Structure 1
Amino acid sequence: VFERPFRLVALVTPLLLRIRKSLETCLRNNLQQASAADHACLGHPVNFEGLNASHNETGLQRLSEAGGYAGFQHQRFFPEPIAAAISYLFDYPEITSKTMLAVDFGGGTLDLCVLRHRGEKFEVVATHGVGLGGDHIDQQLFRRLLFPLLGKGERWRRKGEDREIETLFPFEEYEDLLLNWAVSYRLNQNQYTTPVMQRIEQEDEAAAKFRRLYELIKRNYSYLAFQAIKELKARLSSQEQARLDIPEIDIDIQLTRSEFETIIADQLSSFRQAIDDTLALAEIAASDVELVIRTGGSSLIPAVKNILEELFPGKVIEHDPFTSVAAGLAIAEYRGLGEKMPAKKP
């Protein structure tokens, strides 16, 4: 942050501390419940990073450490898709017997669980999670829409010792940093900016693309570009076409919903595969699912809705896309659900 490295724990702690301070304010006049501000049920994805168990353990340890620094001395941990399901069941207590699939498609991960709800009890049959979310869709849009306008695929002429050399501009060296706005400031170094300036000096038709790339790097517009992409994505959830407008780097692109769905075809395929994998883990068929709870911001994408309706016709319910998990965690804390932090392995 501003060229200073921070541990992830240091970035999460202020967020949790603000929540705890808000709890203290709410409970200030209720001495009997004042100690509740020391308790927290912390939600987590089924898998923090892919399917690597050690990454899950590290993620939980970091979350627990941040919670401790924020003053939550009594912590429980609960998978987010199960929290979303609990939130739905709390809102609709008349549902007494269902085999349910909760689909929590958020910004960073896709988390799923199959539950059997009988009476006042539920059984978690299977959980599954993959590193697929709105951020990955945003990155794909950046690749397909912006990379060609920033110089990807253009050629680069420069003088060698005894002849002129012409090759593709080494755009691949910029890609990872461009796609991660939090570290894109690292591009503002001579090793990256000098080749861009040399390419601009060639003054051909492609020079405008490299001037655009130079502006993005020097003014650190990567975050701004991603915000514009998020707005485009949101508009395409309610409109058949929308514009990606980034005047700071002279970009104005019209995109139809159909074109958007073509661009994210791989992500949609991965989404469907994750559904199939979850059903396989639960050892049930799609026809055995009686209710599908759809939540999370990315679940609002029409193509995602269509996939679920195709697999589970007439069984899909949208449930509080942005608040269901938080509500479910509050209910889980009240009912004493969740697991305590496991002891750290030596």
Structure 2
Amino acid sequence: MAGLSIGIDFGTTNTVVALAGPEGPAHLVKFPAPEKEVFAFRSALSFHAPPDQPKEREVEAGPWAIEAYVEDPLETRFIQSFKSFAASESFTETQILGRRYQFEDLLSAFLLKLREHGGQDMAELPVRAIVGRPVTFAGAAPNENLALSRYETGFRRLGFEEILYAYEPVGAAFFFARELTEDATVLVGDFGGGTSDFSIIRFTREDGEIRSTPLGRAGVGVAGDAFDYRIIDNLVSPELGKGSSYTSFGKVLPIPNRYYSTFARWDQLALMRASRDMREIRKLVKEAVEPEKIERLVEVLDENYGYRLYRSVSDVKEALSAKGMAQFRFHAGTIDIAREVERAEFESWISPELRLIETAVDAALAEAGLGPEGIDRVFLTGGSSLVPAVRDIFYRRFEPSKIESGSELESIASGLALMGRERDLTKWARGV
């Protein structure tokens, strides 16, 4: 469509799409989800094979995928946070209901359903898309070129002829720059589900237009999802047997920790039911020193309580952003785990991730050749930017008056769409 640019913030947790014309602000694509209209489209997929048509595949995405999973969790394969595998060389494909899916197949299936649910706004798309990408992809040894080639395949299947990629915090910076009234050097921190990314940009005004120059960037593959796992690891897993023991041939041995690593991603819990680990866990019920805890673990896995568990985790994390103490409550079936959590306790759990984030902030400053005094404004975006311990990283380095936040979910997509108006896009967005 002539004169229209589209920005797509494909996130680990949510995906947001924005459209911008030649003038005025960008507007977000809205999705008429089952419970209420949303603009943050959950980055999730579900695959369901109807019992009467086992060779058919019903595919859904976003809130509709969650709804399908909640209605029939035992017969639905649910996948979320799959962006985390984009740069992983070890992830080649996954089997879903008898079919093989590579990463680009998952991405294109997700994008096609996203477009379908976007209705009239996404019925006719421009030929060019500006897509956000993290500064550092998630994973132990991320392959950036592999990730971008997978993105390219997936987004081209949506019908785009040209796809440009811009760093996610740079997209947020373009959104933020609309409010600048004078020249400024800005540090943008974007906290997603899987990555925390930082960019430093110099904005100047020339002939009534805003000019921008990138100065430095850095990122780290930890963010909100890692915080969630720390809550589960400290509050829930001990109630399900982590840290306890079992007896074998007269010896007392520790319950293997690997049974609990799956809780890092709740949608993978259902896969354990058919695994060798699950057979071992069932056997442990008779051998455990505290069998009632292993019985709870079996129930969580058998009944697929993963989604309910992570709802509880999200609730307490959000509450701790506003209060010094909050009540954690996970109730499902016969399981009822309740405990008060102090903010300081939560902050001690996530201290390894906080140190990595701090290191990335300092790396961005070093690349820009600036100290904290050289930054005029700090703009924080993304859900985890609301965590007080994350904000404290910036309060320790910068004057509080310099720090701003807001539009936590919309800023990147809107900024990417606005970026499409730039005369010279090559400074900000590039092809593969």
Measure, in 1, the Cα distance between the counterparts of 2:336 and 2:159: 47
* Partner of residue 108 from structure 1, selected from 182, 194, 197: 194
Q: Which among 186, 194, 203 is matched to residue 271 of structure 2? A: 186
Change (3 A) 1:341 1:41: same
Cross-structure match for 1:7 = 102
Q: Quote how far apart the aligned CAs of 1:50 are.
A: 5.7
| Percent identical residues | 27
Give per-residue Cα distances to partners, 1:279-302, cap 9 Å, x unaligned: 111111011111101111100111
| Offset at residue 256 of structure 1 (A) | 1.6
**Structure number with bigger Rg:** 1
- Name the counterpart of 1:240: 324
Runs of 4+ in structure 1 displaced over 6 angstroms? none
Q: Measure how far apart 1:203 and its partner are.
A: 7.6
Question: In the alignment, residue 370 of structure 2 is paired with which amino acid?
Answer: I
Unmatched 5+ stretches in structure 1: 29-33
Range that drifts further, 107-116 or 141-150:
141-150
- Structure 1 residues 122-201: aligned runs within 5 Å: 122-159=212-249, 164-170=250-256, 172-189=257-274, 191-201=276-286
**Distance (Å, rounded) in 2 between the aligned partners of 1:207 and 1:216:** 14
> What are the equivalent positions in structure 2 for 1:1-346 lying under 5 Å apart?
2=77, 4=96, 5-21=100-116, 25-26=120-121, 36-49=125-138, 55-90=143-178, 92-94=179-181, 96-119=182-205, 120-159=210-249, 164-170=250-256, 172-189=257-274, 191-202=276-287, 206-248=290-332, 249-313=335-399, 314-335=401-422, 337=425, 338-342=428-432
71 and 266 in structure 1: CA distance in 2 versus 1, 3 angstrom threshold = same
How many Å separate the matches in 2 of 1:27 and 1:174? 43
CA gap of 1:51–1:59, structure 2 versus 1, over 3 A, is: same
RMSD: 2.3
Structure 1 residue 251: deviation in Å?
1.3
Report the CA distance shift for 1:27/1:190 in structure 2 as closer, same or farther (over 3 A): closer
CA distance in structure 2 between the aligned counterparts of 1:78 and 1:190, rounded to whole angstroms: 40
Corresponding pairs, count: 327
Following the alignment from structure 2 to structure 1, what is the Cα–Cα distance between the partners of residues 349 and 221?
18
Structure holding more strand per residue? 2
* Larger deviation, residues 144-153 vs 99-108: 144-153
Q: Secondary structure at the match of 2:189?
A: strand
Contact 1:115 1:122 in 2 (8 A): yes
Q: Residues 107-147 of structure 1: CA distance to partner in whole angstroms, max 9, x if unpaired? A: 11011011111112110011111101100111111212222
List per-residue Cα deviations over 1:256-292 (Å, max 9, x = no partner).
Answer: 2121112112222222221111111111101111110
What TM-score, normalized to structure 2?
0.70
Normalization by structure 1: what TM-score?
0.87
Residues 217 and 363, structure 2, Cα contact 8 Å, conserved in 1: no
Contact 2:136-2:220 within 8 A present in 1 as well:
yes
Separation (CA, whole Å) in 1 of partners of 2:136 and 2:390:
21
Q: Is the contact between residue 245 and residue 288 of structure 2 (CA under 8 Å) also seen in structure 1?
A: no
Cα distance change, pair 157–77 in 1 and its aligned pair in 2 (3 A): same
Shift of residue 194 of structure 1?
3.5
